[in-house]
Amino acid sequence: MSKKLTKTKSWNSLEKHYKKISNVHLKSMFEEDKKRGKNLVLKDLGIYFDYSKQRITNKTLNLLLGLAKERGVEAKRDAMFSGKKINVTEDRAVLHTALRAPRGSKIIVDGKNVVPGVHRVLKKMTTFSNQIRTGKWKGYTGKSIKNIVNIGIGGSDLGPVMAFEALKFYCDRSLTFRFVSNVDGSDFAEAVEGLDAAETLFIVASKTFTTLETMTNAETAKKWSLSHLKNDKAVAKHFVALSTNKEKVTAFGIDATNMFGFWDWVGGRYSMTASIGLSLMIAIGSKNYHEMLDGFHQMDEHFRTAPLGKNIPVIMGLLGVWNNNFLKAETQAVFPYDKYLHRFPAYLQQLTMESNGKQVTLDGKNVSYETGPIYWGESGTNGQHSFYQLIHQGTKIIPADFIGFKESLNNLPPHQDYLIANMIAQGEALAFGKTEKEVKAEGTDSELAPHKVFNGNRPSSTFFLDKVSPANLGKLVAMYEHSVFVQGAIWDINPFDQMGVELGKKLAQNIIPELQDKNAAIKHDSSTNALIKFYRS
């Protein structure tokens, strides 16, 4: 049992320290240390990580690093990498890092090296995606596959769709990709709109193969496919499964040879580098896909080996704790200044919030401090014209991560200069603001001046990379994965279960028959009863 977080020496020191610096403005921090913008920067793996606009001093950083030591972040990290069952509530190892471990590595779970199995699945994925991309895989009527529909939800959707959008530039444009996740029938209807069933492959992605949304969509897809192709045998040519559950896959009617497996030591939201990435591999080809895996692995190695003070995910995680628990920021914004990353915030929402949205410690005690913040975001510059007003002049502190790239994949001057100038300017405006004096000096009268004041002192980090590429995407995703781990380790919670999603799912199972049978007795509270009656009427 680890010591209560708020009783640790480092936590107490951080509390005292926070009181001292809570009113120090970023402006004076920069004035005091002329090299701050160079000093509070980490550069590795082609990532320029500027955290100088966070509301910290060198002392804060040292205290946070001390906290990481005291909470045993390094030992916990090593336990994860070596395959220890750190997901204690589910008695599972946590080994998404094994999914990108090079051939020849050794990671032992229950006495068995898991790496050869990972590479067997990767090989099977490579062969299959090559067959689709070259037109060798024929549908039931003999036509090649032109449309790929991924059916999955949560981790079986968000990773594939985010990465597909992010790496669209590298995709085979002769193929059409659609993603169905929602149990809303409109999602399915729109996904198959205009598609020829004879040229359409459904990828049913579900770790458990029991998820209501996915199984409902998969059944509808089977009906749709067979209504056009008129023979049950077509399923073998038009359906493949990505899952850990062979029994359920075969019960659905998909041959085990068309199943791409993975393992219980891969969490759903950590599964985009498991076979769940098949649609992406088909889209970008196995070479690009392997480059992405290499990017992930480079960040895994950085996290595993870099000293805490030079470790990007460690610093990110600690800054998150600082902002969440000391500055009391309730949310964390993520603003990628590249349109290709427009689904990245949505992806991060599951990664971060399903992982660290926890109310009890590993040994089941209620936490007495805030855990995971709310993640949200939008790609730049769109957000600037909607909600940035609140970030700049609202009453809430909203730490922001800006993610930018030097090069655009579509060289259309002056777009990239305008885009990146805006990204840099936002961080500058948030940190330094604009005083009333400055406003008045521009000729604004006293009455209007307060409305134009920017208090500044609003924290942000900036991540700069060369361009959106498969390897860089891998690095970015792994970077956030590991920062989530660091925070979970500090907060003494389990980032690898998701019991909070169960209750609503169970209650829906009770309500389904009550909606379908108008005469079924309903015994909920008065609000729930009235909603059911409204639907029935």
Q: Write down the least CB distance from residue 217 to ligand F6P, Å.
A: 11
Residue 48 main-chain phi, psi, to 5 deg: -100, 110
Candidates 87, 97, 156, 461: give the one binding ligand F6P (CB under 6 A).
Answer: 156
x/- contact string, 319-358, with ligand F6P (CB under 6 A)? -----------------------------------x----
| Whether 88 contacts 94, CB under 8 Å | no
User: Of 208 and 435, which has the nearer Cβ to ligand F6P?
Assistant: 208
The C-alpha atoms of residue 67 and residue 60 are separated, in whole angstroms, by 10
Q: Which of 7, 16, 34, 385 is catalytic?
A: 385
- 3-class SS at 468? coil
Kindly give, in sequence order, each residue whose CB lies less than 8 Å from that of residue 466, ignoring residues fewer than 6 positions away.
46, 405, 406, 407, 472
User: For ligand F6P, which residue of 208, 220, 250, 435 counts as binding (CB under 6 A)?
Assistant: 208
Q: Does 154 sit near ligand F6P (CB under 6 A)? A: yes
257-276 positions binding ligand F6P, by CB under 6 A? 268-269
User: Known catalytic residue: 354?
Assistant: yes
Nearest position to ligand F6P, beta carbon: 268
- Give the burial class of 537: count Cβ atoms within 10 A of its Cβ; 0-12 exposed, 13-18 middle, 19 or more buried: exposed
Kindly state whether residue 150 participates in binding ligand F6P, applying the rule CB under 6 A.
Answer: no
User: Which of the residues 165, 213, 291, 354 is marked catalytic?
Assistant: 354
4 included as an active-site residue: no
Residue 510 CB, nearest distance to ligand F6P (Å)? Answer: 17
E strands, 84-230, are 108-109, 112-113, 147-151, 176-180, 200-205
User: CB 253 → ligand F6P: shortest distance, Å?
Assistant: 17
501 binds ligand F6P (CB under 6 A): yes
Q: Binding ligand F6P by CB under 6 A: which of 211, 325, 408, 426?
A: 211
Alpha helices per DSSP H over 134-275 = 158-166, 185-192, 212-229, 235-238, 246-252
Residue 499 touching ligand F6P (CB under 6 A): no
Instruction: Give SS3 for 365.
Output: coil
Q: How far is CA 65 from CA 20, 51, 177, in A?
A: 18, 15, 44
Lookup: tokens for 391:
């970030």
Nearer to ligand F6P, 46 or 357 (CB): 357
What pairing do the DSSP bridges indicate for beta strands 259-261 and 239-243? parallel
Within 8 A by CB and 6+ apart from 230, the residues are none
Among 97, 217, 416, 498, binds ligand F6P (CB under 6 A): 498
* Interface positions, 96-125, toward ligand F6P (CB under 6 A): none
Per CB under 6 A, the list member of 206, 324, 352, 356 interacting with ligand F6P is 206
String of contacts with ligand F6P for each residue 221-250, x by CB under 6 A: ------------------------------
CA 68 from centroid of its chain's CA atoms? 23
* x/- map, 50-89, ligand F6P, by CB under 6 A: ----------------------------------------
Answer yes or no: are the C-beta atoms of 406 and 362 closer than 8 Å: no
SS3 514: helix
In the complex, the residues that contact ligand F6P under the rule CB under 6 A are 153-156, 206-208, 211, 214, 268-269, 354, 498, 501
The set of catalytic residues is 354, 385, 505
